[in-house]
Amino acid sequence: DAKTTQPTSMDCAEGRAANLPCNHSTISGNEYVYWYRQIHSQGPQYIIHGLKNNETNEMASLIITEDRKSSTLILPHATLRDTAVYYCIVGTSGSRLTFGEGTQLTVNP
């Protein structure tokens, strides 16, 4: 599976958009980009995934660059409850999820 690179930490003001970047320059054509988050003392929670096209659901939007070498997870209106570690994972459909260390997002009041 391709490796991902994420910033260790980010801060965001409450109510503003949080944009979390992820680099995956070695991604293969059949590999998806998945995002999970883990709130302190809880198990990870699925957010969104995509292959080529941008995706949006009730939690977030996923923007994948045309060359698929990077992506951005967007939380449009961050709240304090969005403070968590966000994991960007690349893999084929059905493959194991290989978690890195993720990005610690802190939403400040």
Partner 1 sequence: EAGVAQSPRYKIIEKRQSVAFWCNPISGHATLYWYQQILGQGPKLLIQFQNNGVVDDSQLPKDRFSAERLKGVDSTLKIQPAKLEDSAVYLCASSLGTWSSYNEQFFGPGTRLTVL
For position 53 contacting partner 1 by CB under 8 A, the verdict is: no
What is the distance between the terminal CA atoms of the chain, rounded to a whole angstrom?
Answer: 38
Candidate list 1, 14, 100, 106; residue touching partner 1; CB under 8 A: 100
For position 102 contacting partner 1 by CB under 8 A, the verdict is: yes
Full strand arrangement of the beta sheet holding 61-64:
18-23, 70-75, 61-64, 55-56
- Dmax over CA atoms of the chain, in Å, equals 40
Residue 46: CB minimum distance to partner 1, A: 4
3-class state of residue 76 by DSSP? coil
Candidate list 29, 40, 96, 109; residue touching partner 1; CB under 8 A: 96
Residue 44: CB minimum distance to partner 1, A: 5
For position 81 contacting partner 1 by CB under 8 A, the verdict is: no
Q: State the number of binding residues for partner 1 (CB under 8 A).
A: 20
- What is d(CA 47, CA 56) in angstroms, rounded to the nearest whole number? 10
Q: Which stretch binds partner 1 (CB under 8 A): 18-26, 39-47, 61-69, 71-79?
A: 39-47
Q: For strands 103-108 and 9-13, give the pairing.
A: parallel
